Chains A and B, each alone.
Chain A
């Protein structure tokens, strides 16, 4: 195990990013106020690069399943991507994204190309915020799988773990940067991880956020509790932000365009909260009402995927809570479902 662990000094890591950026597109998280954003590595902005912290505002899926991908027509950036600072709640979504785009009879070659061309340098969360609930969704605030390298911030260096062949290659290619860890580095990492896990669990306990064992089957059993769904949807403005910010949402729209160079087709993120999502010709719509579309979001995440993939399609990243202008909180919806009742009139 020890031969997969190294340490790297912070300045060596930035030096490494600079060298990798010569041949690859290297993306790192930057702090902007309280939030983190992914952007191209820029050595001039090293002081605002934040490899710890929490998940970025932008879901990591956007690098592998971009918001808009050309699927017919020429022209595509062929450079390999190295994305640093990816958090565990985003890594957890790869179970689903891989299943959708690479599972089944037909592989999506655009996804696979992006997936193969992307090196994931994950990192531990160094704190949690109130909207974090990964541990309720069978996750943890540190990388467990799907990473090529992981970084755990300890003082002014990082403990590095190699998790895959692409990570191994970086560690081998740039050997001088990667030093042997001290005997206690792993213990220190564990202590730091436990501290953040406890912080997440504290937020979960304080709010009474339900976990996967508690929410199993609750959408199905409350499916016809129409008043509940209507009330939950009463402040929804159908912006689709919850869908677009979500690391597990995968639905897309195919759209066609043409110009002088010929026909083009794009695969773009779609949102099941949009009225047009399930609509068909003749204005037929199986989810005509907004509360049906909100319910559909929960049905897909907490019934469809548990049934088809044995996977709760929520990683507890809390992005949808932050993104929703109507203050619809996924944790509160799930709490209401577990309670199994809503403000029904007494005669009902």
Chain B
């Protein structure tokens, strides 16, 4: 019998401590793993419903906080629909972490321009907390976030508290469609991406969201003057094994699970179907 620690397909039990409703179809699960399974922002894990299935997610919590992990999950498929039925006290499985972390060393001293769409704010929340851990190491921290409607904004109550953390944090939120509860910007996230007051020679952009949003946000960032190698994209493919063996998440010469899931745009721009 191959021991659990040597079996790359085996998962670690984790208890659901808390379930937070973010929107009508997005929930944040706070999990307490039975053993240390710490990660770095940008890395992902396989979240398993034992005997049912698993799916890849990037933790959305602060990587310095080792006791518990947050996963923010949209109900979108077979596994996530069932995961949404999980309640405090339930046991689910975790495998990982896999992939590369956000290159925080490269981001240090720079203006960090973060662009999120929909539930794509989840991995970016882990990134933001990682930046906040050493907030003065970064020249500026800018978040531009777009949601479909005011009701689809995740971490809505938290976002205001992020703004108050330091003077060089600049956050703006937009909704594709407004509503009575919304007096902010209405329009796609690309409508709030502006280069003014950005030092293009000393900036990086990080994008995570649905593929169509990633595509147009990237094109907009290029228009604003970002270079290919200054743009970091979350290429969330069908990462299944997490260890570069099952073949599902290949992008050209890379596996998203091993070489990503975050890639700088210069590495992948010539490859086909990256936006699908």
Instruction: Identify the A interface with B (CB < 8 A).
Output: 71-72, 74, 76, 100-101, 104-110, 113, 223, 250-258, 262-265, 267, 270, 272, 277-282, 284-288, 292, 296, 300, 303-304, 307-308
Contact B245 A265 (CB under 8 A): no
Contact A254 B54 (CB under 8 A): yes
User: Which of A105, A280, A286 sits near B243, CB closer than 8 Å?
Assistant: A105
Q: Which B residues are in CB contact (< 8 Å) with A263?
A: 50-51
User: Which of B2, B248, B253 sits near A278, CB closer than 8 Å?
Assistant: B248
Q: Which B residues are in CB contact (< 8 Å) with A264?
A: 51
User: Is B264's beta carbon under 8 Å from chain A?
Assistant: no
Residue of A nearest to B48 (CB): A256
Of B4-12, B60-68, B170-178, the stretch lying at the interface with chain A is: B4-12
User: Which of B211, B241, B249 sits near A252, CB closer than 8 Å?
Assistant: B241
Residue of A nearest to B46 (CB): A254
B39 vs chain A, min Cβ distance (A):
16
Interface residues of B in 249-265 (CB under 8 A from A): 249-250, 252-253, 258
Contact A285 B9 (CB under 8 A): no
User: Which of B2, B50, B245 sits near A100, CB closer than 8 Å?
Assistant: B245
Contact A110 B51 (CB under 8 A): no
User: Is B240's beta carbon under 8 Å from chain A?
Assistant: yes
Indicate with 1 or 0, residue by residue over B175-211, a CB within 8 angstroms of chain A CB atoms: 0000000000000000000000000000000000011
Complex Cα distance A287/B273, Å?
Answer: 7
Residue of B nearest to A295 (CB): B272
Residue of B nearest to A277 (CB): B248
Residue pairs across A and B with Cβ atoms less than 8 A apart, 29 shown, are A72-B7, A72-B10, A74-B1, A104-B243, A105-B243, A106-B245, A109-B6, A250-B245, A250-B247, A251-B248, A252-B246, A252-B247, A253-B240, A255-B53, A256-B52, A256-B53, A257-B51, A270-B246, A272-B247, A278-B237, A278-B249, A280-B237, A281-B55, A281-B77, A282-B76, A286-B276, A292-B273, A300-B247, A308-B253
Residue of A nearest to B3 (CB): A109
Complex Cα distance A106/B255, Å?
Answer: 14
Complex Cα distance A71/B131, Å?
Answer: 38
Most interface-central of B2, B210, B240, B247 (chain A CB within 10 A): B247
Given contacts A72-B7, A282-B76, A300-B250, contact A108 B237 (CB under 8 A): no
Residue of A nearest to B1 (CB): A74
Q: Which B residues are in CB contact (< 8 Å) with A308?
A: 253
Contact B272 A223 (CB under 8 A): yes
Complex Cα distance A281/B8, Å?
Answer: 23
Complex Cα distance A304/B259, Å?
Answer: 14
Contact A251 B77 (CB under 8 A): no
User: Is B80's beta carbon under 8 Å from chain A?
Assistant: yes
User: Is B111's beta carbon under 8 Å from chain A?
Assistant: no
Contact B241 A282 (CB under 8 A): no
Given contacts A104-B258, A105-B243, A281-B76, contact A262 B6 (CB under 8 A): no
B18 vs chain A, min Cβ distance (A):
23
Q: Which B residues are in CB contact (< 8 Å) with A307?
A: 253
Q: Which B residues are in CB contact (< 8 Å) with A255?
A: 53
User: Is B151's beta carbon under 8 Å from chain A?
Assistant: no
Q: Which A residues are in CB contact (< 8 Å) with B248?
A: 251, 270, 277-278
Q: Which B residues are in CB contact (< 8 Å) with A288?
A: 276
Q: Which A residues are in CB contact (< 8 Å) with B241?
A: 252, 254
Q: Which A residues are in CB contact (< 8 Å) with B240?
A: 253-254
Most interface-central of B237, B243, B245, B252 (chain A CB within 10 A): B245
Residue of A nearest to B10 (CB): A72
Complex Cα distance A255/B245, Å?
Answer: 15
Q: Which B residues are in CB contact (< 8 Å) with A278?
A: 237-238, 248-249
Contact B272 A71 (CB under 8 A): no
Contact B253 A280 (CB under 8 A): no
B238 vs chain A, min Cβ distance (A):
5
Residue of A nearest to B239 (CB): A280
Contact A109 B7 (CB under 8 A): yes
Most interface-central of A109, A264, A265, A296 (chain B CB within 10 A): A265
Q: Which A residues are in CB contact (< 8 Å) with B80?
A: 281
Complex Cα distance A113/B2, Å?
Answer: 9
Complex Cα distance A256/B10, Å?
Answer: 11
Contact B246 A251 (CB under 8 A): yes
Most interface-central of B9, B76, B210, B240 (chain A CB within 10 A): B9
